[in-house]
Structure 1
């Protein structure tokens, strides 16, 4: 069992994030000592925490992460990842269009100066 500070260091998640994840039922401690309310995590929690950290890095919302974690078979995870990837591709295309618009705007400003 790992204290919350040890677990935070192991997973790269802050203590505040771990407390929040417990509050929203995303990742609850394996044990809470009733005498001092210390939170303890186990090895099973470790792998779930790594998954949550990865999903967060992929831009998943808390609600999406709750959906993934509630489906213990992770059957929907692949579909969610594919959808997330498609959304990222759309954002990339939109950003490229914005860059082109900026370039065109800058070019038109230079033409007026000449």
Structure 2
């Protein structure tokens, strides 16, 4: 069993994030000591914490993460990741167009008047 501070260190998630994830039922501690309310996590929690960290890095919302965690078999995870990938690709294309528009606008301001 790991104290929350140790678990935060090995997973890369902050203690505040772990508390929040417990609050929204994403990742609950394996054990909470009734005497001092210390939270403890076990090895089984490690995989889930790493998964949640990855999903967050991939831009998943809390609700999307809840959807993943509710599907304990993770059968829809690949589909969700593919959808997220498509959305990111669309954002990249949109941002690329915006960059081109900015470049064109800057260039038009540098043109010699006729």
TM-score by length of 1: 0.97
Q: How does 1:20-99 map to 2 (within 5 A)?
A: 20-99=20-99
Name the CA distance, whole Å, in 1 between partners of 2:85 and 2:107.
Answer: 33
Equivalences, count:
114
Structure 1, gaps ≥5 residues long: none
SS, match of residue 79 in structure 1 = helix
Q: Which runs of 4+ in 1 moved over 2 A?
A: none
Give 1:112 deviation, angstroms: 4.4
Name the CA distance, whole Å, in 2 between partners of 1:108 and 1:50.
Answer: 48
TM-score by length of 2: 0.97
Structure 2, gaps ≥5 residues long: none
SS, match of residue 75 in structure 1 = coil
Q: How does 1:99-110 map to 2 (within 5 A)?
A: 99-110=99-110
Name the CA distance, whole Å, in 2 between partners of 1:113 and 1:30.
Answer: 71
Name the CA distance, whole Å, in 2 between partners of 1:102 and 1:10.
Answer: 43
Name the CA distance, whole Å, in 2 between partners of 1:32 and 1:111.
Answer: 68
